[in-house]
Structure 1
Amino acid sequence: MQLDLNLLTALDALLEEGSVAGAAARLHVTAPAMSRSLGRIRRTTGDQILVRTGRTMTPTPYAIAVRAQVHELLHQVQGVLAPSRELDLETLERTFTLRWHESLVALSGPALLAAVRGQAPGVRLRFIAESSVDTAELRRGEVDLEANANPPSAPDIRGERAGETRLVLVVRRGHPLAGDGTLTAERYAAAEHVTVSRRGNLDNAVDEALARLGLSRRVVASAPTEAAAFAFARDSDLVISLPEATTRSAVTDLGLAALPLPLELPSAPVYLSWHQRYDTDHAHAWLRGLARTALASVAAPAPAPVPGPEPPPSDERESR
């Protein structure tokens, strides 16, 4: 039997998208053409692959079992057939879509854009905002490169840890916590807090760390972006806890203050993620390298340790 490699591409798209229409859109073919490909795959494998359940389609047990193998086979085929010619950056014309956390765009985007323009003037970058829900844009090829605090969870998404930064406390200048006295976990917990969450979460790892100390805090609001949270803190006694790297411009431009967080918390990571289809794409690999360098600036030194309580005065008799 002669094997048509186009069927492998179609099968991979069908298993990833879970629908004929979605697979057709991903491969830029018509829905009837993709439906015909599904029919050929069914005849070749002797399995239905996708079966309709109400308004959706569900993969069969066979399809679920071979999904990872299909991914890997297609990846190997693409690697074998990928052109080995060197990349000509001066003539490269391509638009890359990057879905980065807004603070990473502000912090590392200028350096990345400058590097791209200096090496490949025909390349354009589209920075788009993060969604409030998980999406499959990386898998569908609608996003080329993603950068945020989350490691990839899907087996076909590649990822690497590009940097890290520690959490700090951000308050207005003149805030009671920024004045005299030791900044303790108790004083920190007693303040009123604002979280930053595109999903509106009112708790995070800070609450877990406080709970381990037998403490809790009062979160009065969540903000969808750092910019909104900074505006809240600038005109009030509200407190924000954020990665140090994302607070630099606010401390300088908005007159805020960044203080060491009086809690033991691990560093906040920064992950760079992409779909495995781009592993052997020379232009994509070039962009990843530039992004990796730009995001390295996110890594910041840990804030100075929080001073402990002042030791009690020595007994006068002991000092003699």
Structure 2
Amino acid sequence: MQQSQPPGAAPGFTPLPDMNLLPALDALLRAGSVAGAAAELNVSPSAMSRTLARLRRVVGDPLLVPSGRGLTLTPRAHGMQPRVQAALTTAVAALRPPREVELATLEREFRIRTNDGIAMSLGAPLLALVAREAPGVRLRLLPEGDEDPADLRTHVDLDVGELPDPLPHDVRSSALGEHRHVAVARADAEFAREPLTPRRFAGLPHITVTRRGRTYSVVDERLAELGLCRDVLATAPTYAAACFFALRTDALALVPSEVAAEAARVMPLAVLEIPLELPVATTGMAWHVRVDTDPAHRWLRGAVARAATEAASDRAGIKRSGAGGAATAAP
């Protein structure tokens, strides 16, 4: 009996056969008997006999025909057997959960969007971890700009940094840690030799980091509560630029503590505590649900989290082994 065409189907539409017949067809062709196929699939011989009748109508061939006291495959059935086995194997593989990724042979490119501060503090340990565990993986760090979380739906694999709130309903996120801001100054500056007071802090020129040139922030609010104000000498587009500016001026550059620690490794900079009660910022990572269960992406998220922990532990070790005061200069 010819199957009816579904309502609204395009002309020439061919309905799919019942794919539940595929395992039975495979068992019948391998066993060469109704009873053998029934035992393999744990059904009654009468049920398998009815399934064989359906298969004969669908395929247009008897498939199994009497031969002496048993059955034998028709030429069409012999020709179908390897294709049926391959089709069933492919279908079963497609419906199984994804296997754990083989990191040693994984070849993948991941696009991670972040700011230069995260890149400075997290980039090196992340690259080392990737090279160690998945040498075929390549990272493409994209700069922040006028980003949209919707970009995660298409061309960005992972956002790392301070995340917007709320996130779109189809974006998942995970916290990485918290960071606070400190001030950096050239290590040989007179004012960098002792802890800052609010008045001395406000009296020095400041360099702040902003992509939009804004100079007013929570720092100004806290100073205003104390009856103080500051002079923003310059704004910088990146934290790295702010650190370089501080090297050649008598100004304080306000940067995240992890950026200051990384910069002070290689620059003659002093790291100074800001003498104000400033809010702590939360850093996290965000990704689209399209990659939520992808084993390779799941490994990437774990790698970023481990690199963040490793970097934080490394900075804590340096701080413990360094000077104990409020100002620490690079060697």
Fold conserved between structures, TM > 0.5: yes
Structure 2 match to 1:67 = none
- Matches of 1:127 and 1:81 in 2, distance apart? 34
Determine the structure 1 residue equivalent to 2:207.
194
In 2, are the aligned partners of 1:194 and 1:239 still within 8 Å (CA)?
Answer: yes
> Which residue is 2:176 aligned to?
162
- 1:102 counterpart = 2:106: no
For 1:264-305, what per-residue CA distance to the aligned partner results, in whole angstroms no more than 9, with x for missing partners? 123232211111222111111111000011122454669978
2:251 paired with 1:235? no
The CA distance in 1 between the partners of 2:185 and 2:306, in whole Å, is: 30
Specify the alignment match of 1:288 in structure 2.
Answer: 301
Read off the aligned partner of 2:104 and give its amino acid letter.
E
On the 8 A contact 1:137/1:143 being kept in 2, the answer is no
Kept in 1, the 8 Å contact 2:149–2:167? The answer is: no
1:70 alignment counterpart: none
* Bigger Cα Rg: 2
Q: Would the alpha carbon gap of residues 204 and 174 (structure 1) be closer, same or farther in structure 2, given more than 3 Å must change?
A: same
Superimposed CA distance per residue, residues 69-102 of structure 1 (whole angstroms, 9 cap, x where no aligned partner):
xxxxxxxxxxx97833222223322111011221
Which of 291, 301, 306 is matched with 1:278 structurally?
291
- Residue in 2 that maps onto 1:126: 140
1:39 counterpart residue number: none
1:133-212 matches, within 5 Å, as 133-136=146-149, 138-155=151-168, 156-180=170-194, 183-212=196-225
Cα offset, 1:136, TM superposition: 4.5
Contact 2:222 2:277 in 1 (8 A): yes
Kindly state the Cα deviation for residue 151 of structure 1 after the two structures are TM-superposed. Answer: 4.2
Q: Evaluate the alpha carbon distance shift between residue 90 and residue 252 of structure 1 in structure 2; reply closer, same or farther with a 3 A threshold.
A: closer
Structure 2 residue ranges without an equivalent (≥5): 1-5, 10-93
Give the letter aligned to residue 98 of structure 1. Answer: I
2:278 equivalent among 262, 265, 270: 265
Change (3 A) 1:306 1:256: closer
Q: Evaluate the alpha carbon distance shift between residue 217 and residue 288 of structure 1 in structure 2; reply closer, same or farther with a 3 A threshold.
A: same
**Cα distance in 2 between the residues matched to 1:124 and 1:3:** 46
In the aligned structure 1, how far is the partner of 2:165 from the partner of 2:139?
22
TM-score (norm 2): 0.62
Contact 2:111–2:158 (Cα < 8 Å) also in 1 = yes
Deviation at 1:124, TM superposition (A): 1.3
Deviation, structure 1 residue 208: 2.2
Residue 290 to residue 82, structure 1, CA distance change in 2 (3 Å):
farther
Q: Any conservation in 1 of the 2:158–2:286 contact (CA below 8 Å)?
A: yes
The alignment's TM-score, normalised by the length of structure 1, stands at: 0.64
Alignment counterpart, residue 254 of structure 1, candidates 248, 259, 267: 267
CA distance in 2, matches of 1:2, 1:129: 50
Over the aligned positions, Cα root-mean-square deviation in angstroms equals 2.9
> Is the partner of 2:183 in helix, strand or coil?
strand
CA distance in 1, matches of 2:189, 2:203: 13
Asked if the contact 2:105/2:136 (under 8 Å) is kept, the reply is: yes
Q: Distance in 1 between matches of 2:105 and 2:214?
A: 46
* Maintained 8 Å contact 1:195/1:203: no
SS in 1 for 2:228: coil
Q: Deviations over 1:217-257 (max 9, x none)?
A: 11121100122112221111111121111012322322011
Instruction: Indicate the SS of the match to 1:272.
Output: strand
* 1:95-127, Cα deviation, whole Å (9 max, x unpaired): 110112212222222221222222222221111
| Matches of 2:221 and 2:8, distance apart in 1 | 55
Post-superposition offset of 1:143: 0.8
> 1:218–1:93: structure 2 CA closer, same or farther, 3 Å change rule?
same
Q: How far apart are residue 2 of structure 1 and its match?
A: 8.5
Count of aligned pairs between the two proteins? 230
Q: Give the Å deviation of 1:261.
A: 1.1
Q: Structure 1 residues 100 and 134 mapped into 2: Cα distance closer, same or farther (>3 Å)?
A: closer
Compared CA separation, residues 279 and 140, structure 1 to 2 (3 A): closer
Task: Please list every run of 5 or more consecutive structure 1 residues that lacks an aligned counterpart in the other structure.
Answer: 5-79, 308-320
Specify which of 61, 82, 87 is matched with residue 101 of structure 2.
87
Tell me the residue number matched to 1:220: 233
- Give the deviation of 1:161 after TM superposition: 1.7
Aligned equivalents of 1:2, 1:296: Cα separation in 2: 57
Identity level (%): 41
